[in-house]
Structures are given as structure tokens and as C-alpha cells.
């Protein structure tokens, strides 16, 4: 991150300095970086309770339709589905409606609302370390995720754009998280998927740090600093499509092919708490 005096002294770096400073927030210099990395982008979610995510950093995916996975939720940009909790975290909340007609959604059959936050058109990066400190919800049919999509999805489609799942969780398995890589020829059920078990702990009982380190030769997955998986170009059957800009996604889905449908044991509302999201680069 360029200091102000560098910006003033070296006019030739003006444009670079402006781009670097545009994602900075007060206190960013105090955020620790892992050895060999420097902070490139972050959100600490320190706003007052009820404040919506920073629109300079986050956009929304909106609507229903299953999202390719037979999901049940309708994604909104409402504060009741995504807002600061006033304690230093973003709360992404899934709400159930006994009568869809009372939901206020443009969907006569949608029984759930939630939020899917994206940095598309706000921030993308190629290679680096992306991490989020999360406290996950728990319950049948609950599906929290932190992941990346190729920014060229609008031009080439999915899975040709590439997808990196930093963390996915089935709410019915509160001590287990998954990481995956999706590309042409190795997507969906054919994707390389790895599993990490928290060793008797529940992901809903405390915050944990979920991260990937991504470079030209490999993607590596971590939980609380412990590497549990890696995928390299030679280990997938088709072209490696992880060599261009990607954007970040945080969402809380309900139902779907991965998590299964909610049942009589499922309790709502459900909340995914996000302490921070950070991106580092070498």
C-alpha cells in the first residue's frame, strides 16, 4: 500500500497510488500480513448495527430461480438479509416466511430470503491469498459459502470462467468444511473436492479462518493456518483456467443439491457471521 508521501514525491506513480488507496480503510496499516504477503484489499465490517455493506466494495446478486443448484432462497439487497451486527461482523441472514405472500419479494413461491454479496465490478485480482474469518450457521439445508468466480463469466460462461470454493459447508455437518476447484471438464460432481474436519469442534461455535493461496502453479486450501489440500494444473483433466482475474463471493444459500432440503429440524433465521475478508498479494 503506497504511503501518501510516496504519492506526492513520485508523480509518475500517481495512477497506481490512486488505485491502491481506493480500497484502503482507516487502520489498514495495523492489519497483520502473513510472512511473504502484503495486504491488497480488505473489509473489516466495523460499521454500526444495521448498516449495509460498503457499496464501494460489494455488489449483490439478486433473485431466485435455483442458481443452478435447485436452491430455495431469494437473494435480496435488504439490510435484514445483510448488515453489520454492531460487534465488528457482517451478518448474512436467511429468513423463512410461513406465507410467501407476506415476504414482500417479487416471487410468489419463495419461502426464504438471504443475501449473496459479490465484488464483481468492484474488485478483482489474479493470484494471491484470500481469507475470511467466519462463524457458520448450523442446520439441515443451510449452505454457507466463501468462493471466487472468474471475472470473464459473462463472456465465456461457467465453468470455463473457473470457480474456486474457499469454503463450503453443509449445515447438517457442522464440523466439516469443503474446498473445491471447478473448470471445464472438472466441474460439479467431477470437481476435485477436499474435506477438512475441525476435530470435534463445530464451525457454528466459534470463528475460524478459511483461506486459499493461489498462484500460477497451484491452489492451496487452509483452515486456521493449516493446509489441507492443493490442486495443480497437471492434476486436472482439462485446461487450467485459473490465470486471469477473479472476484469474491459471500453467500448463504438454503436447500440445493449440495446441502439438501430443510426439514422439520431446521430452525430460522440462520446467520453467517463474517468478521473480515482480506486479500493479500506477494
With contact defined as beta carbons under 8 Å apart, do 23 and 80 qualify? no
Strand intervals (E) in 169-265: 176-182, 193-197, 208-215, 218-223, 226-231, 246-254
Asked if 163 is an active-site residue, the reply is yes
- CB 189 within 8 Å of CB 231: no
State yes or no: is 168 an active-site residue.
Answer: yes
Contact between residue 251 and residue 94 where contact means Cβ atoms under 8 Å apart: no
- Strand pairing report for 226-231 and 112-114: unpaired
Q: Choose the catalytic residue: 163, 173, 213, 218.
A: 163
Candidate list 51, 168, 213, 218, residue with the active-site label = 168
- Count how many Cα atoms sit within 13 Å of the Cα of residue 156 in the half-sphere of its side chain: 14
Do 122 and 245 contact (CB within 8 A), yes or no? no
Task: List, by residue number, the catalytic residues.
Answer: 163, 168
Amino acid at each position: 500500500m503506497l504511503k501518501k508521501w510516496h504519492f506526492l514525491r513520485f508523480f509518475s506513480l500517481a495512477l497506481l497510488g490512486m488505485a491502491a488507496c481506493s480500497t484502503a480503510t482507516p487502520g489498514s496499516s495495523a492489519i497483520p500480513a502473513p510472512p511473504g504477503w502484503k495486504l491488497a484489499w480488505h473489509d473489516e465490517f466495523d460499521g454500526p448495527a444495521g448498516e449495509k455493506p460498503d457499496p464501494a466494495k460489494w455488489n449483490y446478486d439478486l433473485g431466485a430461480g435455483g442458481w443452478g443448484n435447485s436452491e430455495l432462497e431469494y437473494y435480496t439487497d435488504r439490510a435484514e438479509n445483510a448488515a453489520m451486527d454492531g460487534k465488528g461482523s457482517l451478518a448474512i441472514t436467511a429468513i423463512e416466511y410461513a406465507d410467501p405472500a407476506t415476504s414482500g419479494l417479487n416471487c410468489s413461491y419463495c419461502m426464504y430470503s438471504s443475501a449473496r454479496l459479490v465484488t464483481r465490478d468492484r474488485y478483482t485480482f489474479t493470484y494471491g491469498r484470500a481469507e475470511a474469518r467466519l462463524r457458520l450457521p448450523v442446520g439441515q439445508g443451510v449452505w454457507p459459502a466463501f468462493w471466487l468466480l472468474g471475472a470473464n463469466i459473462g463472456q465465456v460462461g461457467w465453468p470455463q470462467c473457473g470457480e474456486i470454493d474457499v469454503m463450503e459447508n453443509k449445515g447438517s455437518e457442522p464440523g466439516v468444511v469443503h474446498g473445491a476447484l471447478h473448470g471445464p471438464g472438472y466441474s460439479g460432481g467431477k470437481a476435485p473436492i477436499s474435506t477438512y474436519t475441525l476435530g470435534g469442534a463445530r464451525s457454528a461455535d466459534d470463528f475460524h479462518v478459511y483461506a486459499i493461496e493461489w498462484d500460477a502453479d497451484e491452489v492451496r486450501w487452509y483452515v486456521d493456518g493449516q493446509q489441507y489440500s492443493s490442486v495443480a494444473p497437471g492434476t486436472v483433466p482439462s485446461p487450467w483456467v485459473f490465470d486471469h482475474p477473479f472476484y469474491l463471493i459471500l453467500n448463504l444459500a438454503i436447500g440445493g443439491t449440495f446441502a439438501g432440503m430443510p426439514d422439520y429440524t431446521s430452525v430460522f433465521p440462520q446467520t453467517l457471521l463474517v468478521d473480515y475478508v482480506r486479500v493479500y498479494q506477494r
